[in-house]
Structure 1
Amino acid sequence: MNQAGDTDLRQDLSFVYRIRRQLAGSDETLVLLHGSGVDETTMMPLGTSIAPGATLIAVRGRVMQEGSRRWFTRITPTRFGQGSIRAEVHAFDRFLDELGEADGLDARKAVFIGYSNGANLLSSLMLLRPGRVRRAVLLRAMPVLTRAPDADLSAASVLILAGARDETYGPFAPALADLLRSRKAAVTARTVAAGHEFGPEDAEHVRAWLRPEAAGLAKLPNGF
C-alpha cells in the first residue's frame, strides 16, 4: 500500500490519471487538467506549488489530434468540435463518479484547476453539468461552447487567470468571465504578467484565492 506523498499512475478507469495522496494535516484535493500537446505530468509541479500537502489528481485527456494530446478536437485555434466537447464532458463527468468509488473523491469539496484546453473542458463541464464543480481555477481559458446552456452556477466560485501577453486566448478571457457571471457564478478575474504559459505568479494568485484570509484578494491587481 502506498504511503502519503507517493504518486501512482492509474490506468484502470475511463481516464488515465496520476494521484498523489495527501500529507498529514491536509484535507485539500486538487484535480488538475493539462493543456494541449502534453500530459498530466505537467500539472503536478503546479499543484504542489499551490498546495504542498494536498491530494493531487492529475488527469490525462483522451483525444489525440495530429499527434497532440487534447481534451476535445480543435477546428482552428479558437473554434472547437462541439460534439467532441459534449462527448468528453459526459465521459469526464462519469469519470468523476468512478473516482468517487475508487479513491473517495468528493467533487463538491475538490478544487479543479485547468490550463488552456483543460480549462476549457472544465468550464464546459460546469455549464453542461451544473453543480458538479463548486471551485474552479481556469488558466488561459476562453469560451468554447457555441450554445452555452442557461445553467445555474450560483453554487460555484471561479478564478480566471489570463496572460497579459497571451495574444490567442487573452482577448477572450473577459467574455468567459461575463458568461460565468451571467450564470450566477462568483467570478474573480485577474491578469498576470505572462503569455500563454503559466508560472509562479499564477500559483501565487491561486493560493491567495484559496486562502483569502492570508492574502487579501482586494490587494491583487488587474481585475476584469
Structure 2
Amino acid sequence: MTNSQPLSPFDLDQVRHLFISGDRKRSPLVLLHGTGGDETTLIEVAQFLAPDHPILAIRGRVVENGYYRYFKRQAVGVFDLVSLAEETQWLVAAITGLAERYQLNVADMTAVGFSNGANIAVHALLTQPQVPFQQVMALHAMQVAAITAPQNLDGTLVFLSYGTQDPLISPQNFAAMRDNLLQAGADLSIFQTDGSHNLTNAELQAAQTWFKAQRRDV
C-alpha cells in the first residue's frame, strides 16, 4: 500500500499533471477527471466555475482498456477495494506534494471531480485524516465503499450533483453516499437534474453559484 506522506520530488516527477498559475491570491482548484479523461479534460469547466483561480489537474495512473482512471474496477460498478485504498493514498500524497511544489494553500483548496474523479474525492474525504482540500464539488459521484467510521468532516463543504436518469448511479447508491457524508458532519448542497451521467449547463451554473457563495476571492 502506498504511503500517505507527500511523495518525494523524484516520485512527483512521475505524476502526470497540469498546473495553471492563475491569480495566486485566489483559492486553488484541484481537478479530478472521469474515466477516459486526463489532466486537460476539466480545464474549461474549472475556468467557468472559478475564472483566474490557480488550477492543479492530476491524471489518474490506472489504465483500463486505454482509459485513464483513479482506481481499478472489476466490472462497471464493481470496484477493486485494494486498488481504491492504494490509489486514494497515492492521490492525497500527490496533491499534497504538488501543492507544496507550487506553493498552494491546501487549506483554501477545492477539489472538482467528475464521475471517477468525484468518487475518489469523496472517498478521500471520508477516509483520509489529512486530505489536502477543504471543499469538494463532486459531479456525478457514487458511493464506492461504505465507510462505517468516517473522518470528522465538520466544516467541510460539499456540492453534489446527481441525474435522476443516470444509468450508473442508482437513487439508493446516491442516498447512501449522501448519508455517509452527513454522518461524517459534512455541510452538503445537492443539485438534482433529470439528466444522465453527463455534465449540464444547469448543474455547472449551480456549482458556480455555490462556489461563489463560499468564497470571498471569486
TM-score normalised to structure 2 length: 0.86
Deviation at 1:194, TM superposition (A): 2.5
Question: Quick one: distance in 2 between partners of 1:150 and 1:198?
Answer: 28
Measured after TM superposition, the shift of residue 195 of structure 1 is 1.4
- 1:51-66 paired onto structure 2 within 5 Å: 51-66=50-65
- Aligned CA distance change for structure 1 residues 60 and 32 (closer, same or farther; 3 Å): same
- Kindly indicate whether the alpha-carbon contact (under 8 Å) linking 1:161 and 1:191 is maintained by their aligned counterparts in 2: yes
Which digits, 9 at most, give the CA deviation of each residue in 1:132-155, with x for residues without a partner? 231001111111124453321113
Residue equivalent to 2:49: 50
Post-superposition shift, 1:116? 0.4
Distance in 1 between the 2:47 and 2:170 partners?
25
Equivalent residue, structure 2, for 1:153 = 153
Instruction: Give me the whole-angstrom Cα distance separating, in 2, the residues matched to 1:41 and 1:96.
Output: 16
Q: Does 1:98 align with 2:97?
A: yes
Counterpart position of 1:142: 142
1:40 lines up with 2:50 in the alignment = no
Structure 2, unpaired ranges of 5+: 1-10
Counterpart-to-counterpart distance in 2, 1:128 and 1:213: 24
Distance in 1 of aligned mates of 2:130 and 2:206: 24
Which residue is 1:211 aligned to?
A: 212
What percentage of residue pairs aligned between the two structures are identical? Answer: 25
Larger relative contact order (Cα-Cα within 8 Å, sequence gap ≥ 6): 2
1:201 is aligned with what amino acid? A
| Structure-1 residue corresponding to 2:3 | none
Distance 1:204 1:170, change over 3 A: farther
Q: Structure 1, residues 168-206: CA drift from partner, whole Å, max 9, x if none?
A: 125222221111001111111111243111132222111
Structure 1 gaps of 5+ residues are 1-10, 215-224
Are 1:142 and 1:173, in contact at CA under 8 Å, matched by a contact in 2?
Answer: yes
Note the aligned Cα RMSD (angstroms).
2.0
How far residue 57 of structure 1 moved from its aligned partner, in angstroms, is 1.2
Instruction: List aligned pairs for 1:1-224, cutoff 5 A.
Output: 13-23=13-23, 27-132=26-131, 133-171=133-171, 172-212=173-213
Q: Aligned with 2:108: secondary structure?
A: coil
- 125-134 or 83-92, which moves further after superposition? 125-134
Q: Deviations over 1:3-56 (max 9, x none)?
A: xxxxxxxx95342111111138x5121111000012121100100111111111
Q: CA deviation at 1:106?
A: 2.0
SS in structure 1 of the partner of residue 46 of structure 2: helix
Q: Is this contact kept in 2: 1:127–1:148, CA < 8 A?
A: no
Contact 2:112–2:137 (CA<8 Å) still a contact in 1? yes
Name the structure 1 match of 2:5: none
